[in-house]
Chains A and B, each alone.
Chain A
């Protein structure tokens, strides 16, 4: 395989970061287009595999994917190029918007706009949940677990603690399953 330079990886991921809008699965077609079709660095299958692995990791899927792809292309140099490229344009655009927003937010008209937009966030979260729901609540136990965690959240239990608890329960469930089968 040809050696791929830092700058080339950076450029490719900069473009991906720039055209990526929204979260989750959107990253797959964009990476296929930029990395497979245009550059021939990876196969479609590899990108799908990286997506599967990224979903299983903590953190943000798109960034995990850029780390995995970067590592594959050029080890740690690739990781650095991939992550920097991916993050640069989102970072700059947020800084600019945050700065402008600071200056205009007290204008009554803008406040009105954000009254509507803030309410919209409830629906955006609802849409995300709806999408996650089908993959997450698959049987009685997962439904029970959902209700339990929601109740614990309302009782103000720390979310990090609830994540650790879930990892722990998952481990125990698998150990019990193994014992049953043995």
Chain B
């Protein structure tokens, strides 16, 4: 048990340190935890992402709290949130003294120039993996495509051309479709 608390702490310090560019950038690390430790399943993680987008507060923090709770209950969620925030407190309060000089520094600028596409690629990989699992049923040969799921994803994709980026609308819509598909089964 104690060992698990330590790994949980260590893993979330890592998330706090290596996340660049918003809450979704922490997803690759959460997937790694799910695969490496089996603390929660990929399905559970996907639920966490949806719920974290629906509840108040920063998405990254919500996901960390949720993952900690799934792994080791209330105490687990305290450890995971604390571990996530700890590197930020140390680094941000040091950077405070540099203030604007920091974001205008040429090294910081060039590093971010490289880090931004990295974050995009890591997040893109998570989306591909989800698509692979939920729509292709983990079969690259397209032999087990879930056509219902494929139709819903394509429909949502088309909606994004026309409608707002507000995630709440999409989640609410999908919840209704999901409920309907249960009754129509």
* Mask of A18-39 contacts with B, CB within 8 angstroms, 1/0: 1111111001000000000000
Taking the complex as formed, is A53 at the interface, i.e. its CB lies under 8 A from any CB of chain B?
Answer: yes
A90 to B116, CA, bound (A): 27
Among B19, B110, B149, contact of A177 (Cβ-Cβ < 8 Å)? B110
* A76 B19 Cβ-Cβ under 8 A: no
Among B102, B107, B175, contact of A174 (Cβ-Cβ < 8 Å)? B107
* A117 B65 Cβ-Cβ under 8 A: no
Residues in B neighbouring A123, C-beta threshold 8 A: 153, 156-157, 160, 170
* B19 A59 Cβ-Cβ under 8 A: yes
Closest 6 CB pairs of A and B: A90-B57, A116-B178, A112-B182, A170-B111, A149-B121, A136-B116
How far does the Cβ of A89 sit from chain B's closest Cβ, in whole Å? 6
Among A71, A117, A122, contact of B130 (Cβ-Cβ < 8 Å)? A122
Question: Which of under 10, 10 to 19, 20 to 34, or 35 or more describes the interface residues of B?
Answer: 35 or more
How far does the Cβ of A127 sit from chain B's closest Cβ, in whole Å? 5
How far does the Cβ of B146 sit from chain A's closest Cβ, in whole Å? 9
Among A135, A148, A153, contact of B116 (Cβ-Cβ < 8 Å)? A135
Chain A residue with the shortest CB-CB distance to B98 = A53
Residues in B neighbouring A59, C-beta threshold 8 A: 16-17, 19, 60, 84-85, 87-88, 91-92
A131 to B60, CA, bound (A): 17
Task: Tell me the residues in window 155-185 of chain B with beta carbons closer than 8 Å to chain A beta carbons.
Answer: 156-157, 160, 165, 167-168, 170-171, 173-179, 181-183, 185
Chain B residue with the shortest CB-CB distance to A169 = B114
* A145 B118 Cβ-Cβ under 8 A: yes
* Mask of A122-138 contacts with B, CB within 8 angstroms, 1/0: 11111111111101111
Interface centre among B61, B70, B131 (most CB of A within 10 A): B61
* A62 B58 Cβ-Cβ under 8 A: yes
How far does the Cβ of B161 sit from chain A's closest Cβ, in whole Å? 11
A166 to B156, CA, bound (A): 33
Task: Tell me the residues in window 53-93 of chain A with beta carbons closer than 8 Å to chain B beta carbons.
Answer: 53-64, 67-68, 71-72, 76, 79, 83, 86-87, 89-91, 93
Known pairs A53-B100, A53-B103, A60-B22; list 12 more (Cβ under 8 Å).
A67-B96, A91-B77, A111-B182, A115-B149, A118-B50, A118-B130, A128-B22, A128-B24, A133-B120, A142-B117, A149-B118, A170-B113
Chain A residue with the shortest CB-CB distance to B149 = A119
22 of the cross-chain contacts (CB-CB < 8 Å) are: A58-B18, A60-B60, A60-B61, A61-B22, A63-B85, A79-B89, A86-B57, A101-B47, A112-B178, A114-B47, A116-B175, A117-B174, A119-B135, A127-B170, A128-B22, A132-B116, A136-B120, A142-B113, A145-B121, A153-B122, A170-B112, A174-B110
Among A17, A18, A23, A166, contact of B118 (Cβ-Cβ < 8 Å)? A166
**A166 and B51 in contact (CB under 8 A), knowing A58-B18, A87-B61?**
no
Taking the complex as formed, is A1 at the interface, i.e. its CB lies under 8 A from any CB of chain B?
Answer: no
Taking the complex as formed, is A182 at the interface, i.e. its CB lies under 8 A from any CB of chain B?
Answer: no
* B92 A150 Cβ-Cβ under 8 A: no
* Mask of B12-37 contacts with A, CB within 8 angstroms, 1/0: 00101111111110111100100000
Residues in A neighbouring B135, C-beta threshold 8 A: 119, 122
